[in-house]
């Protein structure tokens, strides 16, 4: 009988060893050759975006394939447009005035952990930024998305072979397990962890340098000066994108009482349904497991699917299930991250109260990640920006699209750092520039001896005479 854990551990070691051997080929490539490879992978990924999106939905049951196409295009077309002019190989900058040269050097083999919510797009994205930086990458797939991730890797390997390079530059574990993933993280040179808090914590505990991201529990504040109908349109588009599987999607709407009625009417008009009484209690029962963790059965599902699961009847036009939530914390499920078609709703008297409530919601599982605000009041926007512990404040834009760089000029990425406050080593959207070591060459410019040199005539060195003697000896030896 085969021990699957031992098989997984051995596979991790083998893949890392093969990746190191493959790097000898890539190390011979200059920046132009690396860019040619990466661009070809991007082009192929764009061509296959629909097929891979459908595979992901078919295998995992999460989300909508039409939206996963957009994720695949973000991971390829949009990411390539951002990284194509970034220098990562050889001399990447030179400051003649300060006499400093910066040289890019790859970190080596990257262990890339891939979630089931964004399997194909995350694989494309991480492969592109890893190769752009001159690295090899070994993927540890979520078991429930193994086949579509393997299919994506095989597509990338085909392009690598066409470029006459070793396909082991990009590989994937076929026998993923917890023990195997831990071994992969130990053997690699750097980890990029995208997934739940437990996975990220394991990455940071592995002893290998890691770029991990925390959970997202994104509040959105509709301030009274906002265009309410436009704000609601953006929130629904963002929250329902791929049925809520993006960690940057809004999780709770906060409104001032003065505009609450208008916001509620706008939500209902656009497919929102406010749960009450027995219906609410039935939905709460299917939202979470007994330990308070999110029920995977509702992840990436439609409002109608959740209603059927809960045994309630809702209008066919319903797109989003909403609940007025009286508090924040473990006993208030709508105050937590919900990667599906569920949303919490809060009323406050003033924007100052909204500010404090946003902090409580962030501290309830999303600190360091993102916060959205819809407002025309720049003073209030600045107050939120200065005081909220987030890495991204998204203003008058869908949170999902804004955070990943689709509707903003933020770096297009599917790994969103949460900073030290969120347990991450980075607060940026991760791109290829984060996956290189920078070697600095610094020329001396202003050093002087601490005490003047004193040379007597007896010990003074005549450099010219020494040079003449050396040249004479050379000439003699050449006769």
Instruction: Give the residue numbers annotated as catalytic, written as ranges.
Output: 247
Closest CA to 241 of 420, 435, 68: 68
Q: Residue 221: beta bridge partners? A: 254, 373
Distance CA 426, CA 213 (A): 8
Q: How many Cβ atoms sit within 10 Å of the Cβ of residue 233? A: 14
Closest CA to 46 of 139, 156, 169, 136: 156
Q: Where are the beta strands (DSSP E) in 142-288?
A: 170-172, 190-193, 210-212, 218-222, 250-256, 272-274
DSSP single-letter state for residue 141 = E
Which pair of structure tokens corresponds to residue 34? 């690396």
Closest CA to 245 of 156, 333, 357, 122: 122
Which pair of structure tokens corresponds to residue 246? 């993006």
Distance CA 128, CA 132 (A): 6
Under 8 Å between Cβ of 384 and 352 = no
Distances in Å between the alpha carbon of 27 and those of 93, 108, 170, 358, 410? 19, 10, 15, 48, 30
Distance CA 345, CA 323 (A): 6
Which pair of structure tokens corresponds to residue 247? 């960690």
Q: Which uninterrupted H or E stretch holds 353?
A: helix 351-363
DSSP single-letter state for residue 80 = H
Strand 436-442 vs strand 390-395: parallel, antiparallel, or unpaired? unpaired
Which pair of structure tokens corresponds to residue 307? 């209603």
Give residue 321's region: left, alpha or beta (phi > 0; psi -120 to 50).
Answer: beta
């Amino acid at each position: 009988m085969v021990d699957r854990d031992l098989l997984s551990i051995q596979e991790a070691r083998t893949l890392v060893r093969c990746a190191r051997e493959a790097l000898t080929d890539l190390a011979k490539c200059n920046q132009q050759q690396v860019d040619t490879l990466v661009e070809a992978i991007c082009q192929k990924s764009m061509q296959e975006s629909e097929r891979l999106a459908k595979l992901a939905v078919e295998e995992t049951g999460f989300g909508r394939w039409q939206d996963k196409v957009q994720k695949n295009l973000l991971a390829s077309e949009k990411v390539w447009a951002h990284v194509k002019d970034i220098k990562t190989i050889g001399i990447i900058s030179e400051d003649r005035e300060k006499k400093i040269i910066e040289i890019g050097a790859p970190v080596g083999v990257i262990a890339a952990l891939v979630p089931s919510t964004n399997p194909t797009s995350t694989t494309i994205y991480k492969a592109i930024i890893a190769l752009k930086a001159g690295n090899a990458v070994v993927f540890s797939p979520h078991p429930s998305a193994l086949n579509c991730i393997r299919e994506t890797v095989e597509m990338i390997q085909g392009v690598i072979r066409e470029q006459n390079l070793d396909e082991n530059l990009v590989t994937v574990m076929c026998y993923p397990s917890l023990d195997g993933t831990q071994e992969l993280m130990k053997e690699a040179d750097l980890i990029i962890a995208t997934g739940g808090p437990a996975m990220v914590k394991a990455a940071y505990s592995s002893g290998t340098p890691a770029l991990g991201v925390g959970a997202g529990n994104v509040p959105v504040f509709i301030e009274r000066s906002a265009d309410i109908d436009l704000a609601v349109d953006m929130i629904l588009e963002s929250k329902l994108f791929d049925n809520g599987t993006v960690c940057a999607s809004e999780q709770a709407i906060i409104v001032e009482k003065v505009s609450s009625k208008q916001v509620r009417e706008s939500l209902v008009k656009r497919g929102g349904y406010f749960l009450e009484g027995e219906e609410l209690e039935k939905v709460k029962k299917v939202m979470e497991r007994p330990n308070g963790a999110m029920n995977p059965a509702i992840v990436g599902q439609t409002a109608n699917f959740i209603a059927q699961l809960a045994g309630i009847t809702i209008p066919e036009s319903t797109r989003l299930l909403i609940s007025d939530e009286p508090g924040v914390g473990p006993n208030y499920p709508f105050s937590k991250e919900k990667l599906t078609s569920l949303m919490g709703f809060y009323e406050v008297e003033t924007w100052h109260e909204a500010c404090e409530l946003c902090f409580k919601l962030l501290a309830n599982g999303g600190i360091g990640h993102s916060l959205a605000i819809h407002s025309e009041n720049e003073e209030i926007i600045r107050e939120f920006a200065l005081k909220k512990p987030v890495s991204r404040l998204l203003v008058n834009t869908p949170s999902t699209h804004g955070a990943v760089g689709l509707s903003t000029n933020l770096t297009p990425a599917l790994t969103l750092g949460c900073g030290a406050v969120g347990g991450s080593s980075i607060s940026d959207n991760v791109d290829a520039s984060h996956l290189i070591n920078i070697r600095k060459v610094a020329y001396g410019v202003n050093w002087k001896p601490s005490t003047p040199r004193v040379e007597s005539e007896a010990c003074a060195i005549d450099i010219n005479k020494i040079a003449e003697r050396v040249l004479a000896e050379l000439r003699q030896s050449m006769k």
